């Protein structure tokens, strides 16, 4: 594991798995250490190899995918899990992050986007293909709001969240707002506390569901 960040790829579709593996191996700072093909082997290999990142096909873990994710995280707290899905729903996105995933991407995401996501989760940032996910969530606005009155974000907090919805990193947000990265981190901590979430992706989704940010906010 001296050649780069160790990564396990657990994807059912051979062509997709091969494309992602090739993109990872083309990066000098990353390496694929295992490519399990079923649920049991995935859990076993992650426990044995202790990779920094595990890219997992959500359907490979079914049935009981959320429980499987919790099981992996409980046994391997340092692994960052990125799940790949064919389609999604609001509840699936939120339940995935609640279960402990660090990244949530649709399978139509490019190999380059997956590689960028690997680097982001290694930097401690939760990631999601927000543009694509919002397309799937467009019909869900009739569902009950997650938040109660009095939990609205402050102006600066909302501004930070809007920039996060565009996929900007803490460093990029700080540059946009002419503040330090520590200030951005403080805003995110306040946001997470108010919304009772654990990641920026959960926060963005909740803000969108409550009409605090709109679809247009996701466009750079």
Please tell me whether residues 133 and 160 are part of one structural domain.
Answer: no
Helix axes 155-164, 170-177, angle to 10 degrees: 130
Please tell me whether residues 68 and 100 are part of one structural domain.
Answer: yes
| Distance between CA atoms of residues 199 and 178, nearest Å | 23
Dump pLDDT digits (tens) for 78-89: 899 999 988 776
- Cα distances (Å, whole numbers) of residue 177 to 36, 102, 117, 131: 43, 25, 23, 22
Give the residue numbers spanning the domain of 189: 155-218
Please tell me whether residues 133 and 195 are part of one structural domain.
Answer: no
Please tell me whether residues 182 and 106 are part of one structural domain.
Answer: no
51 occurs within a structural domain: yes
Please tell me whether residues 209 and 128 are part of one structural domain.
Answer: no
Residue ending a domain, among 137, 163, 195, is 137
Dump pLDDT digits (tens) for 14-64: 888 898 999 898 888 899 999 998 899 999 999 999 999 999 999 999 888
**In sequence order, what E strands does the chain have?**
5-10, 30-34, 53-57, 80-85, 103-106, 127-128
Instruction: Provide the domain count of the chain.
Output: 2
**Residue 46 three-state SS:** helix
Dump pLDDT digits (tens) for 195-214: 887 777 778 777 877 778 77
């Amino acid at each position: 594991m001296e050649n780069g960040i160790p990564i396990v790829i657990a994807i059912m579709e051979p062509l997709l798995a091969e494309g992602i593996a090739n993109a990872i191996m083309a990066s000098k700072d990353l390496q694929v250490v295992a490519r399990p093909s079923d649920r049991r082997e995935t859990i076993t290999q992650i426990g044995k190899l202790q990779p920094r990142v595990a890219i997992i096909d959500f359907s490979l873990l079914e049935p009981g995918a959320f429980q499987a994710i919790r099981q992996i995280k409980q046994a391997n707290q340092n692994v960052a899990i990125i799940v790949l899905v064919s389609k999604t729903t609001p509840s699936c996105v939120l339940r995935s992050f609640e279960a402990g995933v660090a990244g949530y991407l649709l399978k139509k995401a490019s190999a380059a986007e997956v590689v960028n996501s690997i680097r982001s989760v290694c930097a401690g940032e939760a990631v999601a293909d927000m543009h694509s996910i919002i397309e799937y969530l467009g019909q869900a606005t009739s569902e009950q709001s997650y938040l109660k009155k009095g939990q609205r974000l402050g102006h600066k907090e909302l501004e930070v969240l809007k920039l996060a919805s565009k996929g900007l990193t803490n460093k990029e947000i700080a540059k946009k707002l002419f503040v330090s990265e520590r200030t951005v981190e403080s805003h995110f901590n306040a946001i997470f506390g108010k919304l009772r979430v654990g990641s920026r992706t959960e926060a963005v989704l909740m803000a969108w569901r409550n009409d605090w940010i709109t679809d247009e906010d996701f466009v750079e």
